[in-house]
Amino acid sequence: MLMSNRTIRALVVDDTALYRKIVGDVLAELPNVKLVGSAHNGAAALSKIKALKPDLVTLDIEMPEMNGIEVLEALKPHQSGIGVIMVSSLTRAGGDMTMRALALGAYDFITKPQGGSLVENKRIIREALSPLVSSLIARGKLQKHGPARPALPLAGRNGPMRPPVRHIASRRSEASQIVAIGISTGGPNALTTMMPKLPGNIGVPIVVVQHMPPVFTQSLAQSLNNKCAVTVKEAENGETLQANVVYIAPGGRQMKVVAGGNGYSRIIRITDDPPENNCRPSADYLFRSVAQLYVGRATGVIMTGMGSDGLLGLKRMKQSGAILIGQDEASCVVYGMPKAPAEAGILDVVAPLHRIAEEIVKTVKKSPQHTRSSTAARAATSKMAG
């Protein structure tokens, strides 16, 4: 549901008449949104943006004459204050271009349905697009008369401001040996903000569930790998977890961590198990496996996203002694996934997006006095897992 009384003006850009109609109809049916026009290619889009002055543009990635990337480069969303949501095809080229679009200032993206009836495709588009439009309006991102405000204050009269981090529970003395992250709507940009802040020698593996379709997770991993000190890759079935590597669950598959044959190593297992919370990959599915194998030695992180995927898995992690970090409401695109564990009272830390990395690092650093106990705990837990 839209969170503003102000009517916003929307423009649909797509080279396919069918999708111009579907996306246009969806926008026209949303409260507080006025559809002011459409364009069939990028060149026409720039002309209509200048004439119609929309607040919101849905922008097809792959178009003749001038594609979505070229439109973004000309439009400069960060400066114009126009909210841009990309509409992408489920192809490797579409995934790569979408990651580039997000780096250029697009707010988020939706994917075009493959097959299905007009009614079904419209339903899928509505379910994906409506919450993004709502969040743009609610967070004050659509401002026709000036650039978008930053989501968080950056400076005050007395110098730089650091939004508060709330430490709700006391810290566990044992250092974590794995970090598990669950994230959804707004995730690519959030990860692009957070993960480059992680040191290349963080010393533990990081496993990530980002709700995404197939192909796009590979594009996301490659994009992040180019920006981060840690190695980022799409996870592969059967590979052994390594420190300083981020493993992103493949879109459309489930990912969990299992014990290696020696009882000590930890292995990635990619499966076709059913969706959980209508999600595949599912954060709950991953978190449960981490809770079982890393008793008292894990960090769970829940970030921006719709729904409550991750809540049950985080409860399991909490019961097994994990430290849990949640993204704060102000910096989330959609405050759903972090909201559920916050309301359940299981989070140890609530932090704004740009401070999550430092909170993660705090949980994996070993104090000298705990080095020997850490080794003993590893051996004990490995024995339990075996």
Catalytic residues: 184, 211, 309
- One DSSP character per residue, 226-263 reads TT-SSEEEE--TTPBP-TTEEEEPPTTSEEEEEE-TTS
Say if residues 248 and 234 touch (Cβ distance below 8 Å): yes
Distances (CA, A) of 263 to 154, 237, 266: 47, 18, 8
> Which of 268, 271, 273, 307 has the alpha carbon at shortest distance from 178?
268
Say if residues 267 and 238 touch (Cβ distance below 8 Å): yes
Q: Name the 3-class secondary structure at 72.
A: helix
- Cα angle 286, 181, 196 (rounded to 5 degrees) comes to 145
Q: How far is CA 302 from the centre of its chain?
A: 10
Say if residues 311 and 174 touch (Cβ distance below 8 Å): no
Find all residues with CB under 8 Å of 313, minimum gap 6, and list them.
Answer: 182, 283, 284, 285, 286, 287, 288, 290, 291, 300
CA dihedral 315→320→325→328, nearest 10 degrees, is 20
Question: Rounded distance, CA 247 to CA 75, Å?
Answer: 34
Question: Rounded distance, CA 234 to CA 293, Å?
Answer: 21
